[in-house]
Structure 1
Amino acid sequence: MTDVDLSEPEADSPVFISPVAMENDPDALFAGDRGILDADVRRVLVRILQRRFLLAENSPAEWTLLLEHQQMIESRLNDLFVRLVIDHDRGVAYKEQVRSDEVDVPILLKDEAYSRAETLVLVYLRTVFQRETTAGAPSARVDVEEVEQTVLTYFAESDGTRASQQRAVRTAIARLDREGIIEEESEGRYRIGPLIEIVLSAEVLRDLQRWLDEQTDATDTEVPANPDPPASAPSEISEEDLPA
């Protein structure tokens, strides 16, 4: 049996790596830095991890860096069991949690559900976007009043007062604006971005519209107007169903 020498290596031994002072390592960004990415590329990587989406239209410099260093950024994300998805046509990048039955994958990205009001607003926005783009319009726009008027028809008396329902709709619109799904061009008027097609696929939209139609039919027959939606069309869309 061969003994293993566990003694400390000599300082001048080739296996001994002396720490390099930051002032002597121009590529280091901070003390002890072992990263190999440039500072700007690291920032793009952090933005991908921080945000649900990175939009070319809103962040052109970061988008350019992402495309230039896509392979390296993908590699770093894959090390965390996270997948990078880039939709070049829509100018959208987002991340997805890798899930596998063959490999034990620790879950890094937590689910963050959309509320019922947010889901209803998303359905209306997606419907308008689909209608306008199918008709050949270059873009689709909505007024907050028309969104509110339509979405409120799906609330029941048990959902609170009219004022609280209106606040829920306005809060939903504000969140979707922050996420870049819509953009306020003037007070109370929003442009619907192509990101809506990623957030709500045509298949999910059909399921949700079917559920809403069932709610309407139930109201006409005096059945409670706010039943639980079917499993295929949840009242809250989680990040497990959407881009993370």
Structure 2
Amino acid sequence: MDLPEQAAAQADVAPAPTVLFMNDTGELPLDTRRVLVQLLSGPSLEGRRHPKLWPVLLRDETVVQRRLHDLFLDLVIDRDLQVAFTRQVDAGDLDIPILLRRAQLTFIDSVLVLFLRQRLTQAEAHGDRAVVARDEMVENLVLYERAASTDRAGFTKRISASIEKMKKHNILQKIRASEDRFEISPTLKLLFTAEEIVALTALYDAMAAGESPELERQPLDDGEDEE
């Protein structure tokens, strides 16, 4: 085969499956890149919400973990819950750039998280989906109005802001055809360990003392600053 024929033959060869666009130097196939993007954009990748990406994550877990480590991020996977998300690696004294920011939970946020975590645990024990209505959340939070604030209008506004925060971070996922009913994401079970739940429960004691503490917890956002 002479050179012109060889060049023509090479032109007919399909590009490698990892070459997805002009001048693409990436090494991963399209579906694996989609997994990485979902994990980085956050807040989680879930088997139920992302049925096409979940098996890809399990298949390529090692390479995905390797790419995340390049960004000083760790991959957390719960195969039973079919939930995965990223968290900042523990680098000890090493000075590393921080890609994920930690969200400050207000007093009301903390009480709501504890309530949602308890509902999630109860639902899982019965094999049910963890569904909660807005009225139920408000009713639970109103019990602590005196400990958090004496301003009814301001307290109501803080309740709404807390619920919106949980929606923003997909802790609460809106149920279709319903304006005020939500499913509690199983991610909540992984974001807050049993030890942290014990710490949150201590808020009840703080309420009795009239305190309104703020606790720093796992990153809930996707890298944006909290308002």
Does the TM-score normalized on the shorter chain lie above 0.5? yes
User: Does the Cα contact within 8 Å between 2:167 and 2:173 map onto a contact in 1?
Assistant: yes
Q: CA, structure 1 residues 243+138, in 2 after alignment: closer, same or farther (shift >3 Å)?
A: farther
Q: Which residue of 1 aligns with 2:170?
A: 180
In 2, distance between residues paired with 1:157 and 1:102?
39
TM score, norm. by length of structure 2: 0.77
- CA deviation profile, 1:33-61 (whole Å, cap 9, x unmatched): 21111122212211111112111111111
Equivalent of 1:214 in 177, 200, 206: 206
Secondary structure of residue in 1 paired with 2:84: strand
Q: Report whether the alignment pairs 1:83 with 2:74.
A: yes
TM score, norm. by length of structure 1: 0.72
Q: Which residue of 1 aligns with 2:195?
A: 203
- CA deviation profile, 1:113-172 (whole Å, cap 9, x unmatched): 3343322211111123334444x3523332211211221232348747323322322232
User: Does the Cα contact within 8 Å between 1:126 and 1:196 map onto a contact in 2?
Assistant: yes
Q: Report whether the alignment pairs 1:46 with 2:37.
A: yes
Q: Which moved more, 1:50-59 or 1:163-172?
A: 163-172
Q: Which moved more, 1:161-170 or 1:118-127?
A: 161-170
Letter paired with 2:205: D
User: Does the Cα contact within 8 Å between 2:105 and 2:217 map onto a contact in 1?
Assistant: yes
Equivalent of 1:238 in 208, 211, 217: 217
Q: Which residue of 2 aligns with 1:107?
A: 98
Q: Report whether the alignment pairs 1:140 with 2:119.
A: no
User: Does the Cα contact within 8 Å between 2:101 and 2:221 map onto a contact in 1?
Assistant: no
Q: Which structure is higher in RCO with an 8 Å CA cutoff and minimum separation 6?
A: 2
Question: Unaligned 5+ residue runs, structure 2?
Answer: 1-11
In 2, distance between residues paired with 1:31 and 1:142?
47
Q: CA, structure 1 residues 120+184, in 2 after alignment: closer, same or farther (shift >3 Å)?
A: same
Give the number of equivalent residue pairs. 208
| Structure number, greater radius of gyration | 1
Query: What percent identity do the matched residue pairs reach?
Result: 28
Question: Unaligned 5+ residue runs, structure 1?
Answer: 1-22, 219-224, 230-234
